[in-house]
Structure 1
Amino acid sequence: MQDSFSGRATQGSFFEGLFVHSLKASGPFADALRECGYDPRHPKAIYPIEVWNAALEVAWRHCYPGMAREAAYREMGRQLGLGFLRTWMGKVVDMGLPMLGPDRLMARVPSLLALDTFRYDVKVLPLGQRQYRVSIRKDPDAKPDLIAGLLDAGLGRTGVRATTTVTMRNGQDFDVDVSW
Protein backbone atom coordinates (compact mmCIF):
# COMPACT_ATOMS: atom_id res chain seq x y z
CA MET A 1 0.00 0.00 0.00
CA GLN A 2 1.24 3.45 -0.92
CA ASP A 3 2.19 5.62 2.04
CA SER A 4 -0.07 8.51 2.92
CA PHE A 5 1.59 11.91 2.77
CA SER A 6 -1.26 13.42 4.76
CA GLY A 7 -1.63 10.58 7.29
CA ARG A 8 -5.32 10.36 6.33
CA ALA A 9 -7.04 7.13 5.39
CA THR A 10 -10.36 5.92 4.00
CA GLN A 11 -12.30 2.70 4.53
CA GLY A 12 -11.80 -0.26 2.23
CA SER A 13 -15.58 -0.73 2.13
CA PHE A 14 -15.86 2.44 0.02
CA PHE A 15 -13.42 0.96 -2.49
CA GLU A 16 -15.34 -2.32 -2.47
CA GLY A 17 -18.67 -0.57 -2.93
CA LEU A 18 -17.59 1.59 -5.84
CA PHE A 19 -15.01 -0.47 -7.69
CA VAL A 20 -16.18 -4.04 -7.03
CA HIS A 21 -19.97 -3.88 -6.61
CA SER A 22 -20.89 -0.90 -8.80
CA LEU A 23 -18.22 -0.37 -11.44
CA LYS A 24 -17.08 -4.03 -11.52
CA ALA A 25 -13.43 -3.22 -12.18
CA SER A 26 -11.72 -5.66 -14.53
CA GLY A 27 -9.18 -5.68 -17.36
CA PRO A 28 -7.32 -2.42 -18.02
CA PHE A 29 -9.49 -0.60 -15.48
CA ALA A 30 -8.49 -3.00 -12.68
CA ASP A 31 -4.85 -2.82 -13.85
CA ALA A 32 -4.92 0.98 -13.58
CA LEU A 33 -6.45 0.74 -10.09
CA ARG A 34 -3.65 -1.62 -9.03
CA GLU A 35 -1.08 0.88 -10.33
CA CYS A 36 -2.48 3.58 -8.06
CA GLY A 37 -2.52 1.31 -5.00
CA TYR A 38 -5.87 -0.52 -4.96
CA ASP A 39 -6.11 -4.16 -6.01
CA PRO A 40 -9.76 -5.27 -6.31
CA ARG A 41 -8.65 -8.92 -5.96
CA HIS A 42 -6.82 -8.29 -2.68
CA PRO A 43 -8.77 -5.67 -0.72
CA LYS A 44 -7.56 -4.10 2.49
CA ALA A 45 -9.53 -2.65 5.39
CA ILE A 46 -8.07 0.84 5.00
CA TYR A 47 -6.22 2.86 2.36
CA PRO A 48 -4.39 6.19 2.28
CA ILE A 49 -6.67 8.99 1.07
CA GLU A 50 -4.21 9.57 -1.77
CA VAL A 51 -5.07 6.11 -3.15
CA TRP A 52 -8.81 6.95 -2.98
CA ASN A 53 -8.26 10.21 -4.85
CA ALA A 54 -6.12 8.53 -7.52
CA ALA A 55 -8.62 5.66 -7.90
CA LEU A 56 -11.47 8.14 -8.48
CA GLU A 57 -9.48 9.76 -11.27
CA VAL A 58 -8.80 6.32 -12.79
CA ALA A 59 -12.54 5.55 -12.66
CA TRP A 60 -13.34 8.84 -14.40
CA ARG A 61 -10.93 8.06 -17.23
CA HIS A 62 -12.02 4.43 -17.63
CA CYS A 63 -15.76 4.52 -16.90
CA TYR A 64 -16.85 8.03 -17.87
CA PRO A 65 -14.37 9.22 -20.52
CA GLY A 66 -16.87 11.42 -22.37
CA MET A 67 -18.25 13.13 -19.28
CA ALA A 68 -17.16 16.35 -17.67
CA ARG A 69 -15.41 15.73 -14.35
CA GLU A 70 -18.32 17.14 -12.29
CA ALA A 71 -20.91 14.92 -14.02
CA ALA A 72 -18.68 11.86 -13.71
CA TYR A 73 -18.04 12.47 -10.03
CA ARG A 74 -21.77 12.91 -9.38
CA GLU A 75 -22.44 9.55 -11.04
CA MET A 76 -19.56 7.97 -9.11
CA GLY A 77 -21.17 9.31 -5.91
CA ARG A 78 -24.44 7.62 -6.81
CA GLN A 79 -22.63 4.41 -7.67
CA LEU A 80 -20.61 4.61 -4.45
CA GLY A 81 -23.83 4.91 -2.45
CA LEU A 82 -25.50 2.00 -4.22
CA GLY A 83 -22.41 -0.20 -4.18
CA PHE A 84 -21.59 0.54 -0.54
CA LEU A 85 -25.04 -0.76 0.42
CA ARG A 86 -23.99 -4.13 -1.02
CA THR A 87 -20.96 -4.43 1.29
CA TRP A 88 -21.39 -6.18 4.64
CA MET A 89 -21.17 -2.83 6.46
CA GLY A 90 -23.54 -1.21 3.98
CA LYS A 91 -26.14 -3.95 4.38
CA VAL A 92 -26.40 -3.03 8.05
CA VAL A 93 -26.84 0.65 7.16
CA ASP A 94 -29.34 -0.20 4.41
CA MET A 95 -31.68 -2.05 6.76
CA GLY A 96 -32.46 1.18 8.59
CA LEU A 97 -32.62 3.70 5.74
CA PRO A 98 -36.22 3.10 4.62
CA MET A 99 -37.46 3.34 8.22
CA LEU A 100 -35.26 6.33 8.97
CA GLY A 101 -36.88 8.58 6.38
CA PRO A 102 -35.32 11.52 4.57
CA ASP A 103 -35.49 14.15 7.32
CA ARG A 104 -33.80 11.95 9.92
CA LEU A 105 -31.23 10.84 7.34
CA MET A 106 -30.36 14.48 6.70
CA ALA A 107 -29.90 15.01 10.45
CA ARG A 108 -27.36 12.16 10.44
CA VAL A 109 -25.39 13.36 7.40
CA PRO A 110 -22.51 14.85 9.44
CA SER A 111 -21.72 11.47 11.01
CA LEU A 112 -22.39 9.49 7.81
CA LEU A 113 -20.09 11.58 5.62
CA ALA A 114 -16.94 10.31 7.25
CA LEU A 115 -15.20 9.24 4.04
CA ASP A 116 -11.79 9.40 5.65
CA THR A 117 -10.12 9.87 9.01
CA PHE A 118 -9.93 13.67 8.62
CA ARG A 119 -12.81 15.39 10.36
CA TYR A 120 -13.83 18.30 8.21
CA ASP A 121 -16.71 20.57 9.25
CA VAL A 122 -20.13 19.31 8.10
CA LYS A 123 -23.33 21.17 8.92
CA VAL A 124 -26.86 20.45 7.75
CA LEU A 125 -29.06 23.53 7.72
CA PRO A 126 -32.82 23.35 7.15
CA LEU A 127 -33.92 25.75 4.39
CA GLY A 128 -37.63 24.94 4.44
CA GLN A 129 -39.94 21.97 4.27
CA ARG A 130 -38.03 19.09 2.61
CA GLN A 131 -35.10 21.42 1.84
CA TYR A 132 -31.64 21.37 3.38
CA ARG A 133 -28.18 22.74 2.76
CA VAL A 134 -25.21 20.50 3.48
CA SER A 135 -22.24 22.79 4.13
CA ILE A 136 -18.80 21.22 4.15
CA ARG A 137 -15.83 23.30 5.21
CA LYS A 138 -12.09 22.68 5.42
CA ASP A 139 -12.20 19.53 3.25
CA PRO A 140 -8.70 19.27 1.78
CA ASP A 141 -9.99 16.95 -0.97
CA ALA A 142 -13.30 18.68 -1.68
CA LYS A 143 -15.44 16.65 -4.08
CA PRO A 144 -18.84 18.36 -4.00
CA ASP A 145 -20.24 16.42 -6.96
CA LEU A 146 -19.31 13.07 -5.42
CA ILE A 147 -21.10 14.09 -2.22
CA ALA A 148 -24.15 15.29 -4.20
CA GLY A 149 -24.39 11.89 -5.91
CA LEU A 150 -23.92 10.07 -2.61
CA LEU A 151 -26.76 12.09 -1.08
CA ASP A 152 -28.96 11.25 -4.12
CA ALA A 153 -28.37 7.53 -3.58
CA GLY A 154 -28.91 7.61 0.19
CA LEU A 155 -32.09 9.64 0.00
CA GLY A 156 -33.39 7.36 -2.73
CA ARG A 157 -33.24 4.47 -0.25
CA THR A 158 -35.53 6.41 2.10
CA GLY A 159 -38.22 6.46 -0.60
CA VAL A 160 -37.84 9.98 -2.02
CA ARG A 161 -36.44 11.28 -5.28
CA ALA A 162 -34.04 14.01 -4.26
CA THR A 163 -32.66 16.95 -6.18
CA THR A 164 -29.12 17.86 -5.18
CA THR A 165 -27.42 20.99 -6.43
CA VAL A 166 -23.91 22.17 -5.71
CA THR A 167 -24.58 25.83 -4.91
CA MET A 168 -21.14 26.94 -3.76
CA ARG A 169 -17.57 25.81 -4.51
CA ASN A 170 -14.64 27.62 -3.01
CA GLY A 171 -11.46 25.58 -2.61
CA GLN A 172 -11.92 23.43 0.50
CA ASP A 173 -15.46 24.67 1.10
CA PHE A 174 -18.72 23.78 -0.65
CA ASP A 175 -22.49 23.64 -0.23
CA VAL A 176 -24.95 21.12 -1.62
CA ASP A 177 -28.63 22.04 -1.52
CA VAL A 178 -30.99 19.09 -1.20
CA SER A 179 -34.75 18.95 -1.74
CA TRP A 180 -37.47 16.43 -2.49
Structure 2
Amino acid sequence: MTTRKPVPVEQRHVYVQVVEGLLQHALHGQISPRLKQRLKQVGVDLDRPLLPVYPVSLWMHCLTIIAEETYPGVPREEAFRRLAEAHVQGYGRTVIGRAVYGVMRLLGPRRLVLRLPQTLRATDNYTEAELIERGPTTYEMRMNSAVDAPGYVEALFEGMLRVGGADSPQVTKTHADPAIPSSTYLLTWKDR
Protein backbone atom coordinates (compact mmCIF):
# COMPACT_ATOMS: atom_id res chain seq x y z
CA MET A 1 0.00 0.00 0.00
CA THR A 2 1.11 3.57 -0.50
CA THR A 3 2.12 5.82 2.34
CA ARG A 4 -0.88 8.12 2.56
CA LYS A 5 -1.44 9.12 6.18
CA PRO A 6 -4.11 6.88 7.75
CA VAL A 7 -7.44 8.66 8.21
CA PRO A 8 -9.38 7.83 11.39
CA VAL A 9 -12.69 6.11 10.64
CA GLU A 10 -14.71 9.09 11.94
CA GLN A 11 -12.91 11.43 9.51
CA ARG A 12 -13.36 9.31 6.38
CA HIS A 13 -15.26 11.00 3.56
CA VAL A 14 -16.41 10.19 0.03
CA TYR A 15 -16.09 12.88 -2.61
CA VAL A 16 -19.04 14.53 -4.33
CA GLN A 17 -18.52 12.76 -7.68
CA VAL A 18 -19.33 9.43 -6.01
CA VAL A 19 -22.61 10.78 -4.62
CA GLU A 20 -23.39 12.65 -7.84
CA GLY A 21 -22.74 9.55 -9.95
CA LEU A 22 -25.39 7.57 -8.08
CA LEU A 23 -28.01 10.13 -7.12
CA GLN A 24 -27.94 12.55 -10.05
CA HIS A 25 -26.99 10.23 -12.90
CA ALA A 26 -27.62 6.54 -12.16
CA LEU A 27 -30.96 7.17 -10.44
CA HIS A 28 -32.04 10.15 -12.54
CA GLY A 29 -35.84 10.09 -12.72
CA GLN A 30 -36.09 7.16 -10.27
CA ILE A 31 -35.92 9.01 -6.96
CA SER A 32 -39.32 8.77 -5.34
CA PRO A 33 -40.60 11.43 -2.93
CA ARG A 34 -40.21 8.87 -0.12
CA LEU A 35 -36.57 8.16 -1.02
CA LYS A 36 -35.86 11.88 -1.29
CA GLN A 37 -37.39 12.45 2.16
CA ARG A 38 -35.51 9.56 3.77
CA LEU A 39 -32.21 10.84 2.36
CA LYS A 40 -32.98 14.35 3.60
CA GLN A 41 -33.70 12.99 7.10
CA VAL A 42 -30.21 11.48 7.29
CA GLY A 43 -28.42 14.51 5.83
CA VAL A 44 -28.48 14.40 2.00
CA ASP A 45 -30.82 17.12 0.77
CA LEU A 46 -31.39 16.67 -2.96
CA ASP A 47 -33.10 20.07 -3.19
CA ARG A 48 -29.76 21.75 -2.48
CA PRO A 49 -26.39 21.50 -4.22
CA LEU A 50 -24.43 18.44 -3.16
CA LEU A 51 -21.70 18.97 -0.59
CA PRO A 52 -18.04 18.52 -1.61
CA VAL A 53 -17.68 15.53 0.76
CA TYR A 54 -19.92 13.23 2.81
CA PRO A 55 -18.95 11.16 5.85
CA VAL A 56 -18.49 7.51 4.89
CA SER A 57 -20.82 6.37 7.69
CA LEU A 58 -23.56 8.62 6.29
CA TRP A 59 -22.94 7.44 2.72
CA MET A 60 -23.10 3.76 3.76
CA HIS A 61 -26.42 4.47 5.50
CA CYS A 62 -27.64 6.22 2.33
CA LEU A 63 -26.70 3.18 0.20
CA THR A 64 -28.88 1.00 2.42
CA ILE A 65 -31.80 3.44 2.16
CA ILE A 66 -31.39 3.71 -1.62
CA ALA A 67 -31.25 -0.07 -2.06
CA GLU A 68 -34.39 -0.53 0.10
CA GLU A 69 -36.35 2.15 -1.75
CA THR A 70 -35.15 1.48 -5.29
CA TYR A 71 -35.36 -2.32 -5.17
CA PRO A 72 -38.17 -3.13 -2.69
CA GLY A 73 -38.74 -6.83 -2.13
CA VAL A 74 -35.42 -7.75 -3.73
CA PRO A 75 -33.03 -9.74 -1.52
CA ARG A 76 -30.45 -7.45 0.11
CA GLU A 77 -27.39 -8.72 -1.80
CA GLU A 78 -29.14 -8.57 -5.16
CA ALA A 79 -30.40 -5.05 -4.43
CA PHE A 80 -26.87 -3.89 -3.60
CA ARG A 81 -25.51 -5.59 -6.75
CA ARG A 82 -28.09 -3.81 -8.92
CA LEU A 83 -27.34 -0.53 -7.19
CA ALA A 84 -23.60 -0.95 -7.81
CA GLU A 85 -24.19 -1.72 -11.50
CA ALA A 86 -26.28 1.44 -11.82
CA HIS A 87 -23.63 3.37 -9.88
CA VAL A 88 -20.89 2.33 -12.33
CA GLN A 89 -23.01 3.59 -15.23
CA GLY A 90 -23.94 6.81 -13.42
CA TYR A 91 -20.38 7.58 -12.35
CA GLY A 92 -19.38 7.29 -16.01
CA ARG A 93 -21.73 10.21 -16.74
CA THR A 94 -20.04 12.61 -14.31
CA VAL A 95 -17.34 14.95 -15.62
CA ILE A 96 -14.61 13.10 -13.72
CA GLY A 97 -16.14 9.70 -14.48
CA ARG A 98 -16.16 10.31 -18.24
CA ALA A 99 -12.45 11.08 -18.14
CA VAL A 100 -11.63 8.11 -15.89
CA TYR A 101 -13.70 5.68 -17.97
CA GLY A 102 -12.13 6.96 -21.19
CA VAL A 103 -8.74 6.00 -19.80
CA MET A 104 -10.07 2.66 -18.48
CA ARG A 105 -11.31 1.69 -21.94
CA LEU A 106 -7.86 2.35 -23.38
CA LEU A 107 -6.01 0.46 -20.64
CA GLY A 108 -7.69 -2.92 -20.90
CA PRO A 109 -8.49 -5.10 -17.88
CA ARG A 110 -4.97 -5.88 -16.63
CA ARG A 111 -3.68 -2.32 -16.66
CA LEU A 112 -7.04 -1.12 -15.31
CA VAL A 113 -6.61 -3.40 -12.29
CA LEU A 114 -3.05 -2.18 -11.81
CA ARG A 115 -4.40 1.39 -11.65
CA LEU A 116 -7.29 0.56 -9.29
CA PRO A 117 -5.43 1.78 -6.18
CA GLN A 118 -5.03 5.24 -7.76
CA THR A 119 -8.58 5.22 -9.13
CA LEU A 120 -9.99 4.40 -5.70
CA ARG A 121 -7.97 7.16 -4.04
CA ALA A 122 -9.77 9.66 -6.29
CA THR A 123 -13.15 8.69 -4.79
CA ASP A 124 -12.45 9.39 -1.10
CA ASN A 125 -9.88 10.64 1.38
CA TYR A 126 -8.83 7.31 2.89
CA THR A 127 -8.81 4.28 0.60
CA GLU A 128 -5.56 2.41 0.27
CA ALA A 129 -5.35 -0.75 -1.80
CA GLU A 130 -2.61 -3.28 -2.39
CA LEU A 131 -2.57 -5.63 -5.37
CA ILE A 132 -1.00 -9.07 -5.53
CA GLU A 133 -0.85 -10.77 -8.93
CA ARG A 134 -2.01 -14.39 -8.67
CA GLY A 135 -2.01 -15.02 -12.43
CA PRO A 136 -2.32 -13.13 -15.74
CA THR A 137 -6.05 -12.56 -15.18
CA THR A 138 -6.24 -12.98 -11.41
CA TYR A 139 -5.41 -10.39 -8.76
CA GLU A 140 -5.93 -10.19 -5.04
CA MET A 141 -6.72 -6.71 -3.74
CA ARG A 142 -6.43 -5.84 -0.07
CA MET A 143 -8.13 -2.66 1.10
CA ASN A 144 -8.25 -0.65 4.31
CA SER A 145 -12.05 -0.64 4.36
CA ALA A 146 -14.95 -3.00 4.86
CA VAL A 147 -18.37 -2.19 3.41
CA ASP A 148 -21.54 -3.54 5.02
CA ALA A 149 -23.37 -3.86 1.71
CA PRO A 150 -23.15 -7.48 0.53
CA GLY A 151 -22.45 -7.72 -3.19
CA TYR A 152 -22.02 -3.97 -3.67
CA VAL A 153 -18.22 -3.74 -3.89
CA GLU A 154 -18.03 -6.96 -5.89
CA ALA A 155 -20.52 -5.69 -8.49
CA LEU A 156 -18.83 -2.28 -8.53
CA PHE A 157 -15.44 -3.78 -9.41
CA GLU A 158 -17.01 -6.18 -11.93
CA GLY A 159 -18.64 -3.19 -13.64
CA MET A 160 -15.35 -1.32 -13.71
CA LEU A 161 -13.61 -4.34 -15.23
CA ARG A 162 -16.31 -4.48 -17.92
CA VAL A 163 -15.63 -0.81 -18.70
CA GLY A 164 -12.01 -1.85 -19.26
CA GLY A 165 -13.05 -4.59 -21.67
CA ALA A 166 -12.80 -7.60 -19.34
CA ASP A 167 -14.58 -10.76 -20.45
CA SER A 168 -16.70 -12.42 -17.71
CA PRO A 169 -15.25 -10.51 -14.75
CA GLN A 170 -15.84 -12.03 -11.35
CA VAL A 171 -15.02 -10.43 -8.01
CA THR A 172 -15.25 -12.39 -4.77
CA LYS A 173 -14.76 -11.12 -1.24
CA THR A 174 -12.35 -13.50 0.46
CA HIS A 175 -11.91 -11.68 3.76
CA ALA A 176 -13.50 -8.84 5.71
CA ASP A 177 -12.80 -7.44 9.14
CA PRO A 178 -15.07 -4.48 10.03
CA ALA A 179 -13.20 -3.97 13.31
CA ILE A 180 -9.95 -2.88 11.61
CA PRO A 181 -11.57 -2.15 8.93
CA SER A 182 -10.12 -4.20 6.06
CA SER A 183 -11.22 -6.46 3.25
CA THR A 184 -9.71 -8.60 0.52
CA TYR A 185 -11.16 -9.33 -2.91
CA LEU A 186 -10.18 -11.75 -5.66
CA LEU A 187 -10.58 -10.19 -9.12
CA THR A 188 -10.63 -12.52 -12.13
CA TRP A 189 -11.66 -12.41 -15.77
CA LYS A 190 -11.27 -14.50 -18.90
CA ASP A 191 -8.50 -13.80 -21.34
CA ARG A 192 -9.72 -12.94 -24.83
Give the C-alpha shift of residue 34 in structure 1: 1.3
Q: Paired residue for 2:3? A: none
Alignment match, 1:59 = 66
Mapped to 2, the partners of 1:144 and 1:125 lie a distance apart of 23
Q: CA deviation at 1:69?
A: 2.8
Q: Aligned match of 2:115 in 91, 98, 108?
A: 108
Using the size of structure 2 for normalisation, the TM-score is 0.80
Q: Distance in 1 between matches of 2:132 and 2:148?
A: 19
Residues 98, 109 of structure 1: alpha-carbon distance in 2 compared, 3 angstrom cutoff: same
The CA deviation string for residues 96-118 of structure 1, in whole angstroms up to 9 with x for no partner, is: 11111111110111122234322
| Structure 1 residue corresponding to 2:86, chosen from 63, 79, 84 | 79
- Deviation per CA, 1:21-45, whole angstroms, max 9, x where unpaired? 1123232111111111112332222
How far off is 1:67 after superposition? 3.0
Unaligned runs of 5+ in 2: 1-8
Which residues of 2 match residues 1-180 of structure 1 at below 5 A?
6-24=10-28, 25-42=31-48, 43-114=50-121, 115-119=123-127, 121-137=128-144, 139=145, 141=147, 143=149, 145-161=151-167, 162-171=169-178, 172-180=181-189
Q: Which runs of 5+ in 1 are unaligned?
A: none
Q: How many residues align?
A: 174
Alpha-carbon distance between aligned partners in 1 of 2:133 and 2:85, rounded to the nearest angstrom = 23
RMSD of the TM alignment (CA)?
2.1
Which 4+ residue blocks in structure 1 deviate beyond 4 angstroms?
Answer: 140-144
Partners in 1 of 2:77 and 2:131 — Cα distance?
22
Percent identical = 25
Aligned partner letter, 2:182: D
In 2, are the aligned partners of 1:144 and 1:174 still within 8 Å (CA)?
Answer: no
